[in-house]
Amino acid sequence: MRPPICDFCDRDGRDHPSLEFGLVSFRNRELLEQPSHPKGLLWFCQDHLARASELSHLDSHRALQRMREEGG
């Protein structure tokens, strides 16, 4: 499994052991393939997990774009 690195801000859980990380599945989950990582799941740190979860009805590209537009 890929280590917990926020797909929005790139914070790495190995460098920030006190941060919580979670996985979010987006609408295009079947198209997101990452070797040895659960199919279609992206990591988010505690600062971005709630918003990413709210946008999980979108495909991952659109959700990340919207988060950037909102300023994170």
Nearest to 27 by CA among 55, 49, 8: 55
Cα 48 to the center of its chain, rounded Å: 8
Please tell me the distance from the alpha carbon of residue 28 to that of residue 61, in angstroms, as a whole number: 9
- Per-residue pLDDT tens digits of the chain, which is 72 residues long: 788 999 999 999 999 999 999 999 998 765 556 666 666 789 999 999 999 999 999 989 999 999 999 996
User: What confidence score (pLDDT) does residue 27 get?
Assistant: 82
Domains: count for the chain: 1
- What does pTM read for this prediction? 0.84
Q: What is the number of residues in the chain?
A: 72
Domain that holds residue 6: 1-72
User: What confidence score (pLDDT) does residue 56 get?
Assistant: 96
User: What confidence score (pLDDT) does residue 28 get?
Assistant: 75
Cβ-count burial of 60 within 10 angstroms (0-12 exposed, 13-18 middle, 19+ buried)? buried
